[in-house]
Structure 1
Amino acid sequence: MSELIELAPWLAAVVIVVSVVVFITTKVVPVVRKFSRFLDDVLGAPPRLGMARRLSLMERVASIESVIVGTPASPGVTARPGLDARVALIEHEVTTNHGTSLKDAVKRTEERVTKVTGDVEKVRMNLHEHITESEPIRQQVDDLHAKYTKE
């Protein structure tokens, strides 16, 4: 019995140490991991095996600004045209300008469709007239057919 009394403080210490380790691994480690990821987002991360270099927050902001302004984010990088240039290109395509814009092409297509629709209507009317005119002839053919099939 005295041996158990002597071991009790050690057992309590082991239980406390295990509890602290479990608490740290379940509660503290995820917080540290999130903080580490936050720092990687802000400061950037070097390339690792199978992973590309991660840009820092300021590098990403600079690349977004370069898209808007139209200047290269870093030397040797070709920038996309700025916002003004892209808006001008869109305006060029949606306004009439002597046949080269998208709007002109749509207008030409609409005119051709309207013309073809009129032509189709004329053909339909002609066909209707032919059918109407051929009705007496068809009746005569049917009568002759009936007459000769009875005999």
Structure 2
Amino acid sequence: MIAAPTGVDPIDALALWSGAVIAVSGGLALVWRATRSFRRIGGKVENFVDDWQGTDPRPGVPGRLGVMSRLGAIEDRLARVEHELQPNSGSSLRDAVDRVDERTRHFTPDGRT
């Protein structure tokens, strides 16, 4: 409900302008709150993209490799570990364990390990 005019023009104008300022301020506050969640989501998306692509080094902060580069390094390490677990030309860990097993087989009465 709108109040009736007072009959004093400056007071009526002041009341009108005060209402307009309050309405605009309230609208801006609502817009600010609504966009705050979008800004938070945008920041999280930016962090995800930085983690995925990696970051270049800058003064005081070391660079980081991206996800695909890190996955490639993990696959290389895993391939080296798998190489050691398979018998090959005699240089793998598996070959060394087999040699030790063969040498110690005669220490048991039935010849089994």
Please give the range of the TM-score, normalised by the shorter of the 2 chains: 0.5 to 0.7
Distance in 1 (alpha carbons) for counterparts of 2:103 and 2:26: 86
Where do residues 100-119 of structure 1 align in structure 2 (5 Å cutoff)?
none
Q: Compute the TM-score of the two structures, normalised by the length of structure 2.
A: 0.61
For the pair 1:54 / 2:67, whether they are aligned, the reply is: no
Distance in 1 (alpha carbons) for counterparts of 2:31 and 2:59: 34
Letter in 1 for 2:46: S
AA at the equivalent of 2:62: A
Q: Percent identity?
A: 19
Q: Give the corresponding residue for 2:23.
A: 12
Aligned counterpart, 1:129: none
Give the AA of the match of 1:83.
Answer: E
Q: Which amino acid aligns with 2:29?
A: V
- Greater helix share, structure number: 1
Residue in 2 aligned with 1:146? none
How far apart are the structure 1 equivalents of 2:59 and 2:23? Answer: 44
Partner of 2:6: none
1:50 Cα offset (Å): 4.5
Give 5+ residue unaligned stretches, structure 2.
1-10, 88-92, 109-113
Q: What are structure 1's unaligned runs of at least 5 residues?
A: 70-80, 111-151
Runs of 4+ in 1 over 4 A off after TM superposition: none
CA distance in 1, matches of 2:35, 2:58: 27
**Who is 2:4 aligned against?**
none
Aligned residues: 92
Using the size of structure 1 for normalisation, the TM-score is 0.49
For residues 40 and 95 of structure 2, the distance between their equivalents in structure 1, rounded to whole angstroms, comes to 51
Report the structure number with the largest CA radius of gyration.
1
12, 34, 41: which one aligns with 1:31? 41
Structure 2 counterparts to residues 1-150 of structure 1, below 5 A: 1-2=11-12, 3-25=14-36, 27-69=37-79, 81-88=80-87, 89-90=93-94, 92-93=96-97, 96-99=101-104
Aligned partners of 1:39, 1:56: CA distance in 2, in Å? Answer: 9
